[in-house]
Amino acid sequence: EDQVTQSPEALRLQEGESSSLNCSYTVSGLRGLFWYRQDPGKGPEFLFTLYSAGEEKEKERLKATLTKKESFLHITAPKPEDSATYLCAVQAIQASGGSYIPTFGRGTSLIVHP
Amino acid sequence: EAQVTQNPRYLITVTGKKLTVTCSQNMNHEYMSWYRQDPGLGLRQIYYSMNVEVTDKGDVPEGYKVSRKEKRNFPLILESPSPNQTSLYFCASSLRSNYGYTFGSGTRLTVV
């Protein structure tokens, strides 16, 4: 069974204090790993897709990296507006060639204090 | 503006009264899906559609129906809602199944 575990569940940072969020996964074959940001009461907002180990993507203060077992979302010099829940999702290669149901982690709730 | 539009945003209904939550996207995306989000359980996929007239079950399909008669629309139907279907529902679409999704703003459903 595909599994996605995000840690920590919650993270409090001071403005400017860089840190990383972790997403560890167990799948038979990775088709894609996705990062989303979700603000309270809103739908998730797509950030990045990573397809293979070693791949990295950046957007403003965020940088996502991928290994064969986990992904990190690095936040450099965060600002209060970066406060949100960050979700990781994994899509596995299906041996039967059938459905591609992504598995979401439960998220990391990030609060950045001014 | 590229978006996924869900209606209604909020809905309170009684057990057993059929309801439909509409979802429409204006990006010509092939892939659409429905999720429910519950505290402690995260996002779980209910149904998905890979194209017009092609739908399949996700992880938690019991008690739900969908249809995809047009590429842009993917309504979620609860034939006989029950209190355990009280949840926050999201519709999402993507160009391909392994691309990132665009999510709607959500529908908060309460069944009493």
CA distance B93 to chain A (A): 11
Q: What mean pLDDT is reported for chain B?
A: 95
For an interface test with B, which of A39, A100, A103 has the most B Cβ atoms less than 10 Å from its Cβ? Answer: A100
pLDDT of residue A92: 83
DSSP-derived 3-state class of residue A4:
strand
Query: Please, are residues A91 and B58 in contact by the beta-carbon 8 Å criterion?
Result: no
In this prediction, what percent of chain B has a pLDDT beyond 90?
87
Q: Worst-scoring range by mean pLDDT, A93-107, B10-24, B92-106?
A: A93-107
- pLDDT of residue B21 exceeding 80, the answer is yes
pLDDT of residue A104: 92
Q: Give the residue from B73, B74, B83 showing the smallest Cα distance to B65.
A: B74
pLDDT of residue A93: 75
Walking along chain A (114 residues) 10 residues at a time, the average pLDDT comes out as: 90 98 91 95 95 95 96 97 97 65 91 97
pLDDT in tens, B33-85: 999 999 988 899 999 998 999 999 998 999 999 999 999 999 999 999 999 99
pLDDT of residue B47: 95
Q: Does B4 touch chain A (CB under 8 A)?
A: yes
Beta strands in chain B (DSSP E): 4-7, 10-13, 19-25, 31-38, 42-51, 54-57, 65-66, 76-78, 87-94, 102-103, 107-111
Q: Does A107 touch chain B (CB under 8 A)?
A: yes
Q: Find the CB nearest A104 among B42, B104, B105.
A: B42
Cβ contact B106–A45 (<8 Å): no
